[in-house]
Amino acid sequence: MTAAMPKIQRQSLLSLEDYARSRKEFRSRVMAHKKSRTVHLGDSITLNFEDELTLRYQVQEMLRVERIFEDSGIEEELSAYNPLVPDGRNFKATMMLEYVDPEERRAWLSKLIGVEDRVWLQVEGCERVWAIADEDLERETEQKTSAVHFLRFELAEEMARALRRGAGLRIGVDHAQYQASVEISPEVRNALVVDLA
C-alpha cells in the first residue's frame, strides 16, 4: 500500500529567479505528465485530474504572474491549492467546459446549469460515484454555470482495492443537455491509481 499523496511543501517551490531559469523544462515535464491524467467527455468537457505536481506547477505560475515572493503570499497560495491535492482515498479534477465561440459558450453555459453535479465515475463491478463539486465556492447562478469547476470523487476501500488489482474505470456525465461516457485507457487509469493510498 502506498502512502497518501503529499501536499505541496513550501521547500519544494522554486524562487522566482530559479523558476524563470527552469520554467520551460518544468512546464514540458508537467504537460507530459498531464496527458496521462486528462479525460475528454464528449466534445466539450475535459477533466484534468490533479496531483501534487500539477498543482505545484499552478502555484509556481501564480507566484510568477503575481510576482509573489514574500512568505505570507506564498502561504496563501499553498492554502488555496493544497486542498485540491488528492488525499489517498479520492480523485480530484478540474472540469472545463470548452467552447471556442463566445456566443456558443454563453448559450451552453446557460443550458448546462448543474452539470458539475452530474459527473460520475464507476469502478468495474462497483456502484457509480458522483462528483462532489465546488467545495471552495459557488460557481453558478440561476442564469448560467461556470466554465470551470473543481470535482472530488470519494472512493470506498473496495473500489480502491479493485483499481489496484487492475479493474476497469469509466467516467461519464449524465445531464439532461449533455451525456457522454468513456472507458478510461490503461495509461490514465494507472496514473490515477497512484493517487490512492
Taking each helix axis from N to C terminus, what angle separates 186-193 and 157-164, rounded to the nearest 10 degrees? 130
Contact (Cβ atoms closer than 8 angstroms) between residue 79 and residue 7: no
Residue with cell 499553498: 78
Question: What average pLDDT does range 167-182 have in this prediction?
Answer: 97
Q: How far is CA 188 from CA 36, 37, 46, in A?
A: 5, 6, 14
Contact (Cβ atoms closer than 8 angstroms) between residue 163 and residue 196: yes
What pLDDT digit, counting tens, does each position of 8-49 carry?
A: 888 889 989 999 999 999 999 999 999 999 999 999 999 999
- For residue 170, pLDDT over 70 is answered with yes
Q: Where are the domains of the chain?
A: 10-193
Q: What's the pTM? A: 0.88
Give the pLDDT of residue 137.
62
Q: What is the largest CA-CA distance in the chain?
A: 50
What pLDDT digit, counting tens, does each position of 100-125 carry?
A: 999 999 999 999 999 999 999 999 99
Give the pLDDT of residue 69.
87
